[in-house]
Amino acid sequence: MRLKLILALSLFVCMTFSLAKDQSHHLARGRRRGVGPKRARKQTTITTLQQGRLPESNGQDGSIFIESYRNTKEPKPDYETTAGKSEHCVFRGITMYDKAVWSPKPCVNCLCSSGEVVCDQILCPALRCQLKFQRIGECCPICIDPVSVVDAPEYSGDSPVPNDLAEPYTRISESQKDRQKKDEQERIRKKDADRKQRKKQKKEEAERQRKLKEAKDAREKEEEQRRLREEEEERAAAEERKRRMEEQRKAEEDRARRLEMEQKEMMRALEEAAERAQEGLRGDEATEDAVWLRGDVFQMPPTRAAGPPLLALQEPTEPGGEDTEPGEEEPEVVEEESEMVTTLLPQGCSISDVTITCENAKLTGIPPLSIPELKSLSLQGNEITSIPAGAFNGIPNLEWIDLGKNKIVSSGIDPQAFKGLKFLSRLYMDGNLLEQIPSELPSTLQELKINENNLKEIEENSFEGLSSLVTLEMEGNLLSEGHVNSQAFKPLKELTYLRLSRNHFRTIPQGLPPSLLELYLENNLIEDISETAFNHTANINVIVLRHNKLDETSIAPLAWINHRNLESIDLSHNNFYLVPSFLPKSLVHLVLIGNQIERIPGYVFAHMEPGLEYLYLSYNKLDGDAVEPESFLGTFNTMTELCLDHNQLTSIPMGINEMTTLHFLRLNNNKIRHVSEDAICDPLNNDDSHLVALRLENNFLDPRKIPPTAFSCVRSYSSVVLKPQRIK
């Protein structure tokens, strides 16, 4: 038993000595071969791993010992030491045992090998992770990511790789390759996505350019059609003027012919009077003949009918003609002729060409006239209360009648009063006491004005038969949406101009005709605009809604945004705090004067095509934060007039210097204190000056501190108004 113990102890000592010798041999060979720091570090690391413990400092000289060496008592060698050769090392005055390991400075390990000191500098592995951490007392950082990739050490062929390390390094290498492959695939995918996105953007840009070109071509075509239409209208108007001038010329010729005939008759009458005087005729006969010398054109007809006499265009009857026997009834005829000549137009009336004017003549009824050639009759400002049947029988060719400012009531108008006027195109009945639309109006009527009356209701058949009506005015009445039949406007196939101001409407009246181009609803109580309000008026061009109760929340998003012809909207004097969104795409002219607007939202005009040209925001509450960088986006190439006066602006709003077509700019009566060099005019723009007028008076500016080039885009410096200022 004792023999077995001695043999085991000897075997252990031999193995330990052999292992130490092998390690020394490897280190010496690495030094002789010029092993680099990285290789030496790997060998040291493997040796340490083979020992089973990490190097540890002894706390005195910084050397590092293998734990197994520290705790193992070295047996006495069973061989003889070569004389003169020491197994210990001396480092900086300190004696180190053979195989001792220490660290003289950070990241450097030294080994005592057979009396020689071999040192190796530790090189840190390359870490491929985003979050790294270096522990206190250690040379190399470590990854603290959930997944880290570390370069596996490259062992030389002389150094065996432990089995417990080979598998992890293999897994790390494979994981690294997979990650690299995934990263490469992700880069390829992102590159393809970017290429597709750029291709899509190019396609969208091309589509947008195509649409812009189409819109431009359509606008040019529309302009051309409008120009041709205007030229056609001008030609038609010129032909109409020529026709009227020709008719007037013919009328003048007829009048001259009649005057010539009358002069001839008068001359003949004078000759006959002279003959009768020579024959000693009675003095009363001479007086009767002298009456014919007056030359009156409009004389009373020889009638004995009851009632006021009618005016008629008469030719003088020759005294003593064939129908009068001498010496019998001649005195009676002369008496009738005298009465016919001396009765003229009613007092206060005048005639000019084919127009009779009886304004403020205190008439109480329609004067009985018999002038077939009459075209216009004005009876404004009288005390007429009724229009009986046949009132216009003697003037059937009337084209225009003005009955404004009388006392006509609906019950006083006979249903047949206007029926015989086959050429009547204009009828004015403003300022009367009408409660309903007159019935049986001529189908030729093109303009009807019933402003300032007592209209309370519009029935379904109120405009029956007025298919030619173009203009309808009913301002200043008592109308509301509940008393206007939705089918009332249906017969008005040609109506383009409708005025319903100063009534009691709370919403847009229903049933507006599709032909409508201009709608005026100012001074009502409108507080809501629904999505269906203008569904049937696709051609409408102008909407006036000033002096109502609208705000930015009361207009439905689809109320008018898709209208392609709506170019002008007046929303002045309402309750807006913001410039309303969802404005029509075709809008050109926007008026928002006299609201409480505090801000112009970004992109509020960006959707308009081709863009807003006239914007009036005077008398609001815009301040220094009211305008955003994108507030005027979409107007830079179209804005012509911009009015921001009478607000609370403290500086020139952003974006004004980018408006290349701006002609008129009003910024007066604000709180502006400074004008920078590029606030109004862009110094990089070399185009011709475009501003025609600029107003900056009544601000807090010091004209001496304004840069000389601040107004370089103004055509004339005399067009810049700077005085007076409210300098404090």
**334-339 contacts, C-beta under 8 A, 24 or more apart:** 334/285, 334/288, 336/302, 337/288, 337/291, 337/302, 338/288, 338/291, 339/300
Helix (H, G, I), strand (E, B) or coil at 158: coil
Q: For 591-608, what is the mean pLDDT?
A: 95
Q: Decide: residue 78, CB within 10 A, 0-12 exposed, 13-18 middle, 19+ buried.
A: exposed
Instruction: Output the pLDDT for position 266.
Output: 65
d(CA 480, CA 462): 16
Question: Which of 538-552, 656-670, 680-694 is predicted with the least confidence, judged by mean pLDDT?
Answer: 680-694
Asked if the model's pLDDT at residue 340 lies above 70, the reply is no
- In contact, 324 and 333? CB cutoff 8 Å: yes
181 CA to centre of own chain? 52
Is 73's pLDDT higher than 60?
A: no
Average pLDDT score over residue span 83-91:
66
Determine the Cα–Cα distance for residues 334 and 320; give it in Å rounded to an integer.
Answer: 9
Q: Which comes out higher in pLDDT, residue 326 or 690?
A: 690
Domain ranges of the chain: 2-161, 174-321+331-342, 598-728
- The mean pLDDT of 445-470, rounded to a whole number, is 95
669: β partners: none
Give residue 59's pLDDT band: very low, low, confident or very high (50, 70, 90): very low
Which residues partner with 694 through β-bridges?
Answer: 665, 720
Q: How confident is the model at residue 38 (pLDDT cuts 50, 70, 90)?
A: very low
Q: Which residues are CB-contacts of 517 (< 8 A; sequence separation ≥ 6)?
A: 496, 497, 539, 540, 541, 542
Task: Please state the φ and ψ torsions of residue 18, each to the nearest 5 degrees.
Answer: -65, -40
pLDDT of res. 283: 46
> Residue 220: what pLDDT?
87
pLDDT: which is higher, 164 or 440: 440
pLDDT value at 4 more than 70: yes
The percent of residues in the chain predicted with pLDDT above 90, rounded, is 44
* CA 2 from centroid of its chain's CA atoms: 110
Which whole number is the average pLDDT over 218-247? Answer: 84
**Span 481-498, mean pLDDT?**
94
| 598-728 is classed CATH 3.80.10.10 | yes
For the cut 50, the answer to whether the pLDDT of residue 323 exceeds it is: no
Question: Mean pLDDT across the stretch 86-91?
Answer: 77
Q: How confident is the model at residue 48 (pLDDT cuts 50, 70, 90)?
A: very low
pLDDT at 643 over 80: yes
Average pLDDT, stretch 220-243?
A: 84
Specify the pLDDT at position 126.
76
Confidence bin at 409 (pLDDT 50/70/90): very high
Q: Is the pLDDT of residue 614 over 50?
A: yes
Residue scoring higher pLDDT (457 or 132): 457
Task: Give the rounded percent of residues in the chain with a pLDDT score beyond 70.
Answer: 74
Measured at the CA of 54, the angle between CA 41 and CA 175, to 5 degrees, comes to: 65
Q: Which phi and psi angles does 482 have, rounded to 5°?
A: -80, -15
3-state secondary structure 266-325: HHHHHHHHHHHHHCCCCHHHHHHHHHHHHCCCEECCCCCCCCCCCEEECCCCCCCCCCCC
Whether pLDDT at 572 is above 60: yes
CB 64 within 8 A of CB 57: yes
pLDDT of residue 257: 77
- Under the banding of pLDDT at 50, 70 and 90, the label for residue 724 is very high
- CB-based contacts of 451: which residues, under 8 Å, 6+ apart? 430, 431, 473, 474, 475, 476, 477, 499
CA–CA gap between residue 171 and residue 165 (Å, rounded): 10
Residue 156 has what pLDDT?
41
Burial class (CB in 10 A: 0-12, 13-18, 19+), 555: buried
Residue 644's CB: how many other CB atoms inside 10 A? 24
The answer on pLDDT for 547 being more than 80 is yes
Range from 111-125, 285-299, 708-722 that averages highest in pLDDT:
708-722
Q: Which of 49-63, 298-312, 346-360, 430-444 has the highest mean pLDDT?
A: 430-444
Residue 728: pLDDT over 90: no
Partners of 427 in the β-ladder: 401, 448
What is the CB-side half-sphere exposure of residue 55 using CA atoms within 13 A? 25
Instruction: Look at 180-184, 357-361, 540-544, 694-698 and tell me which has the smallest mean pLDDT.
Output: 180-184
Mean pLDDT of the chain: 78
**Span 80-88, average pLDDT:** 50
Label residue 352 by pLDDT band (50, 70, 90). confident
Q: What is the pLDDT of residue 240?
A: 82
Q: Of 584 and 163, which is predicted with more confidence? A: 584
Q: Which of 453, 461, 377 is nearest to 421 (CA)?
A: 377
- Closest Cα partner for 599 from 555, 641, 644? 644
The pair of structure tokens assigned to 165 is 């390390």
pLDDT digits (tens, 9 = 90+) for 507-523: 999 999 999 999 999 99
Neighbouring residues of 133: CB distance < 8 A, sequence distance ≥ 6: 141, 142, 143, 144
Kindly report, residue by residue over 130-160, the tens digit of the pLDDT: 677 777 767 777 777 654 444 444 444 444 4
Closest listed residue to residue 295, CA positions, set 338, 259, 252: 259
Taking residues 687-692, report their average pLDDT: 82
pLDDT tens-place string over residues 168-182: 445 555 677 788 888
**CA dist 134 → 85, 137, 144, 709 (Å):** 43, 9, 10, 61
pLDDT for the residue numbered 275? 66
